[in-house]
Amino acid sequence: MDTTVVQVRFSPSITQRIDCPNCALGEWAWSSFRTLAEASYFNDQIVHGSIVKRHHYVHSFGTALESLNVVNSGFLKSCLTARNGNVQITGFSMRGDMVGLDAISTGIHQSDSIALEDACLCSIKYSCLQKLMGDIPALRNLFHQKISAEIARSHEAMSLLGVMHADERIVQFLLNLSNRFAAIGCSKVRFRLPMQRQEIAEYLGLQLETISRGLSRLQEADAIAIDGKNIEIKNVRRIWEGVSQGPGEAIGLVHRARVRR
């Protein structure tokens, strides 16, 4: 009798740990493994389910890079504090986002990472990840994609601050967040803003009053509904129609054209 040999690829469910069934770090890496042995070894290097309490630091500016963290649940903010005490929030991290990439070039963290709410993280020592990436090219490629996505997000933030006027910044912030929620399987039209209005202002480079007025105008136009921190995007076209004309009008026109497709 002839024997047929079938190559069986690694199934993610095999190595999911009971104590961390939704490990975002494992999910990120699964597709790169060729064998169960590779997957198991990677899983053994992960510190699963670390809880970071609200307002506590994941890492702080000037500390040495030890591990990279991936968010399982909760929200973090990355921020820089100037010598005069002014705070610039540079980004918000949610499920699936890797935290600590800012330290790779120098080995020193260039920003603070702080939990906006109780968060659950899984982490891996960067030295272990480097070794694994050397052994598994597909994992290295995934890591480069992760870095590329982070750079693209930084460029989005720069465009918010550089060429959009205040109302456009608020609208684009909401739509970007909507798309990020959709990417992790959540509703893109109903979601919660875990950050304070002041933190949105610090991220967008605006005053708190400007954020409050902008959100109120969108709600009055029936483009969004606000219930505390809960946001419902009711009409994307109306959101852009409600944006007053200004220096960033061309960007608004581009997004309105996308909506019509």
Q: What pLDDT is recorded for position 245?
A: 44
Helix (H, G, I), strand (E, B) or coil at 191: strand
Q: What pLDDT is recorded for position 127?
A: 94
pLDDT tens track for 37-93: 888 888 888 999 899 999 999 999 999 999 999 999 999 999 988 888 788 899 999
Report the side by side order of strands in the sheet with 46-52.
46-52, 119-125, 67-73, 98-99
pLDDT tens track for 112-156: 999 999 999 999 999 999 999 998 888 999 999 989 988 888 877
- The string over 42-73, giving b where at least 16 C-beta atoms fall within 10 Å of a residue's C-beta and e elsewhere, is bbebbebbeebeeeeebbebeeebebbbbbbe
pLDDT tens track for 173-201: 999 999 999 998 999 999 999 999 999 99
User: What does R_g of the chain's alpha carbons equal in angstroms?
Assistant: 21
Q: Rounded to an integer, what distance in angstroms lies between the CA atom of residue 100 and that of residue 84?
A: 25
* Res. 238 pLDDT band, cuts 50 70 90: confident
pTM recorded for the entire structure:
0.80
Catalogue all structural domains in the chain, each as residue range(s) with its CATH number.
Answer: 12-154 (2.60.120.10), 164-260 (1.10.10.10)
Q: What percent of the chain has pLDDT over 70?
A: 84
